[in-house]
């Protein structure tokens, strides 16, 4: 079943990593995608949907134009992105336009993640802050940790990608590409010395990473600072922590939810964050209004306000927005959509059992983000003067060989970027998502591909725009539209 899900298909589109012998920098990319909710027009197996149908309908309704415009104007002002504005049109809905001229290569936008999570399958490749997604620990820690799990995968004959259990991150997920069979296995004591910091590699002092800060509850989530740990706790994690301080029955329910997500589609982990984000915002608003009239109507108004940031990005329910996979016949479409709908409702019920708050229906707009990993370190070694490079490689070459061709695996995850998600697609875009050297966290970074004049619409490509017309249109089917950009109109068959 999971092979039919969109996230699994996305993973098959990953970039090919560079060869270990000649490391070179690759840009990281973000994509914006439409996700789903928990509403539905047909008979629903979900008790929540039946009981709260009118409220859910309001939550999933398109926000009034004036309210949406005020929200985006305020968001742009608060983040000091005065070079752009969000416009609305009857033809394309939301769109981002330039408020000034941009030259080729100019930074247009750095958009903060509203809700996001690292893919469970990627956690073995990269140790990152669970809140801002910055790499943490040290170069030695990153290399040693990954090679350790790679060796576990090899010893278990894990010859396929993403099949090694990751136990140190509080997840029942499989591992990622690091588990490829590799004959260059290093001694376990060497890897242990890297992880603990007892062994240093040459020139790693040029690549300082934040120390690891653990969650004070479960000590399984990791952060780059106490500030990020506190922010994550206040925003999502206090309702999702599976640590010993969590009440046993709730901890057990959370673990069942996580196991279901890891076994089906870890987009549900992001949906859980969307729900907890809304619930915790709602509770804060309710506390601020505790001396006001406490009625069902006023409470729902507070819930609508708490939900607002996510409601602005909502487009379609997940099972309605997923394009029919090529290996599913059109006559089986109803069955396919019912399958993934049931999967989503099962996930929601498990989460409800864990956090027991029936006031929010999950709905997300999500994007894939990628961040540079420790490949920069090997690039630095490769670019050293010949005499220094030769000396350094006496130490680093065994590690690079052991890592293999997949050494440059980036951090991958799913996130909602509120401003980037407003950007429309074009197969001849004038901007792109691109990680520069200084962009070390999970924020979306948008760079101008060409000169952009004031009042021009800023467009990005949701897909690989270098493929033929038919393939582009097939990839865009998941986004729910037929592209009619100038290039597609020109290449469209008669």
Distance, first Cα to last Cα, the chain: 37
The residue assigned the tokens 């469209």 is 492
Label residue 62 by pLDDT band (50, 70, 90): confident
**In 244-357, alpha helices (H):** 248-264, 267-288, 296-311, 318-321, 333-355
What value does the mean pLDDT take over residues 68-91?
92
pLDDT in tens, 112-158: 999 999 988 888 888 999 999 999 999 999 989 888 888 876 544 43
pLDDT given for residue 439 in this prediction: 84
What value does the mean pLDDT take over residues 456-460?
96
Q: For residue 370, is pLDDT > 60?
A: no
Half-sphere exposure of 106 (CA within 13 A, CB side): 15
Q: For residue 481, is pLDDT > 60?
A: yes
pLDDT given for residue 44 in this prediction: 57
**Among the ranges given (22-31, 198-207, 219-228, 267-276), the one the predictor scored with the smallest mean pLDDT:** 22-31
Label residue 448 by pLDDT band (50, 70, 90): very high
Nearest to 364 by CA among 320, 323, 311: 311
- Burial-class residue 295 by CB neighbours within 10 Å (0-12, 13-18, 19+): exposed
Nearest to 466 by CA among 428, 430, 423: 428
Q: For residue 170, is pLDDT > 60?
A: no
pLDDT given for residue 183 in this prediction: 53
Residue, of 317 and 211, whose pLDDT is higher: 211
**Among the ranges given (69-83, 114-128, 313-327), the one the predictor scored with the smallest mean pLDDT:** 313-327
pLDDT given for residue 239 in this prediction: 93
- Give percent above pLDDT 70 in the chain: 79
| Contact yes or no for 413/116 (Cβ under 8 A) | yes
Label residue 465 by pLDDT band (50, 70, 90): very high
Residue, of 473 and 15, whose pLDDT is higher: 473
pLDDT in tens, 235-248: 999 999 998 888 89
What value does the mean pLDDT take over residues 184-196?
86
Q: For residue 405, is pLDDT > 50?
A: yes
pLDDT given for residue 178 in this prediction: 43
**Among the ranges given (33-37, 138-142, 177-181, 435-439), the one the predictor scored with the smallest mean pLDDT:** 33-37
Residue, of 286 and 369, whose pLDDT is higher: 286
The three-state secondary structure class of 20 is coil
Q: What is the 3-state secondary structure (H, E, C) of 134-184?
A: CECCCHHHHHHHHHHHHHHHHHCCCCCCCCCCCCCCCCCCCCCHHHCCCCC
Most confident of 119-123, 126-130, 326-330, 374-378: 126-130
**Main-chain dihedrals φ then ψ at residue 307, nearest 5 degrees:** -80, -15
What value does the mean pLDDT take over residues 349-364?
62
pLDDT given for residue 107 in this prediction: 96
What value does the mean pLDDT take over residues 402-428?
87
Superfamily of domain 2-137+209-373+408-469: SET domain (2.170.270.10)
Sort residue 8 into left (φ over 0), alpha (ψ -120 to 50) or beta. alpha
Cα–Cα distance for residue pair 365/50, rounded to 1 Å: 24
Q: Distances in Å between the alpha carbon of 190 and those of 157, 178, 304, 399?
A: 22, 18, 54, 10
pLDDT given for residue 360 in this prediction: 38
**Among the ranges given (317-326, 388-397, 415-424), the one the predictor scored with the smallest mean pLDDT:** 317-326
**Main-chain dihedrals φ then ψ at residue 174, nearest 5 degrees:** -80, 165
Residue, of 51 and 258, whose pLDDT is higher: 258
Q: For residue 446, is pLDDT > 50?
A: yes
As a whole number, the mean pLDDT across the chain is 79
């Amino acid at each position: 079943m999971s092979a039919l899900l969109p996230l699994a298909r996305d993973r098959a589109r990953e970039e090919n990593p560079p060869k270990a012998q000649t490391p070179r920098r690759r840009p990281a990319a973000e994509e914006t995608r439409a996700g789903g909710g928990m509403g539905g027009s047909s008979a629903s197996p979900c008790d929540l949907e039946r009981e709260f149908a009118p409220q859910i309908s309001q939550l999933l309704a398109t926000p009034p134009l004036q309210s949406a415009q005020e929200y985006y104007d305020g968001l742009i002002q608060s983040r000091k992105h005065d070079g752009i504005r969000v416009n609305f049109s009857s033809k394309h809905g939301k769109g981002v336009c330039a408020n000034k001229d941009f030259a080729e290569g100019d930074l247009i936008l750095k958009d903060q993640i509203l809700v996001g999570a690292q893919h469970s399958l990627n956690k073995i490749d990269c140790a990152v802050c669970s809140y801002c997604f910055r790499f943490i620990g040290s170069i030695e820690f990153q290399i040693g940790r990954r090679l350790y799990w790679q060796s576990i995968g090899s010893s278990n004959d894990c010859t396929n990608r993403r099949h090694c259990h990751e136990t140190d991150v509080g997840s029942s997920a499989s591992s990622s590409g690091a588990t490829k069979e590799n004959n260059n296995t290093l001694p376990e004591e060497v890897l242990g010395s890297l992880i603990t910091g007892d062994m240093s590699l040459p020139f790693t002092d040029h690549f300082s990473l934040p120390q690891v800060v653990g969650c004070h509850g479960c000590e399984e989530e990791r952060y780059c600072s106490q500030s990020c740990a506190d922010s994550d706790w206040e925003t999502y994690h206090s309702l999702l922590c599976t640590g010993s301080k969590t009440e046993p029955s709730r901890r057990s329910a959370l673990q069942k939810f996580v196991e279901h997500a890891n076994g089906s589609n870890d987009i549900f982990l992001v949906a859980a964050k969307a729900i907890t984000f809304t619930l915790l915002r709602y509770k804060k608003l309710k506390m601020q209004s505790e001396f006001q009239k406490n009625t069902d109507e006023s409470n729902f108004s507070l819930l609508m306000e708490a939900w607002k940031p996510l409601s602005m990005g909502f487009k379609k329910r997940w099972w309605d927005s997923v394009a029919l996979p090529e290996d599913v016949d059109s006559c089986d479409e109803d069955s396919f959509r019912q399958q993934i709908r049931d999967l989503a409702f099962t996930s929601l019920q498990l989460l409800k059992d864990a956090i027991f708050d029936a006031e929010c229906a999950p709905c997300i707009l999500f994007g894939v983000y990628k961040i540079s990993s420790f490949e920069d370190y090997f690039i630095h070694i490769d670019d050293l003067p010949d005499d220094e490079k030769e000396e350094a490689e006496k130490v680093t070459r065994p590690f690079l060989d052991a890592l293999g061709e997949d050494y440059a695996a980036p951090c991958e995850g799913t996130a909602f970027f509120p401003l980037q998600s407003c950007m429309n697609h074009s197969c001849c875009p004038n901007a792109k998502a691109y990680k520069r050297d200084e962009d070390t966290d999970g924020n979306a970074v948008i760079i101008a591909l060409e000169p952009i004049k004031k009042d021009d619409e800023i467009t990005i490509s949701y897909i690989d725009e270098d493929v033929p017309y038919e393939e582009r249109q097939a990839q865009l089917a998941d986004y729910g539209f037929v592209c009619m950009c100038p290039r597609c109109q020109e290449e469209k068959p008669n």
